[in-house]
A and B are shown apart, each in its own frame.
Chain A
Amino acid sequence: MSVIIELFTAFLKIGLFSFGGGYAIIPFLQSEAVNRSWLTVAEFLDIVAVSQVTPGPIAVNMATFVGYRQYGIAGSFAATFGVCLPSLVLVIIASYFIAKVNKSKIVKGAFYGLRPAACGLIGASAINILWSELLPGIEKLNFTGFFSNISIFALIIFAVAFVCMFKLKVNPIFVIIGAAVVGILYGQSGLTI
Chain B
Amino acid sequence: MVNLKELWKLYYTFVKIGGFTLGGGYAMIPIIQREAVDVKKWASEEEMVDMITLAQSMPGVVGINTATALGTKVAGIPGALSATLGMVTPSLIIIILIAAVFDEFQKIEMVKQAFVGIRAAIAALMFSAVVRLMKTAVKDWFQIILFVAAIICILILDIKPQYVLIASAGTAIALSLFRTRKGAAGQ
Contact = CB atoms under 8 A, between A and B. Distances in A.
B128 A166 contact: yes
A91 B129 contact: no
Interface residues of B, number: 102
B60 A90 contact: yes
Interface in A103-127: 105-127
A88 B90 contact: no
B6 interface: no
A84 B112 contact: no
Contacts of B125: 48, 52, 161, 165, 172, 175-176
Contacts, number: 392
Given A58-B25, A92-B80, A173-B23, A110 B169 contact: yes
Contacts of A162: 124, 127-128
A180 B114 contact: yes
B102 to A, nearest CB: 7
Contacts of A182: 117
A95 B60 contact: no
B59 A16 contact: yes
Which 7 residue pairs spanning A and B have beta carbons closest together? Answer: A113-B172, A183-B117, A120-B150, A187-B113, A21-B62, A87-B60, A109-B176
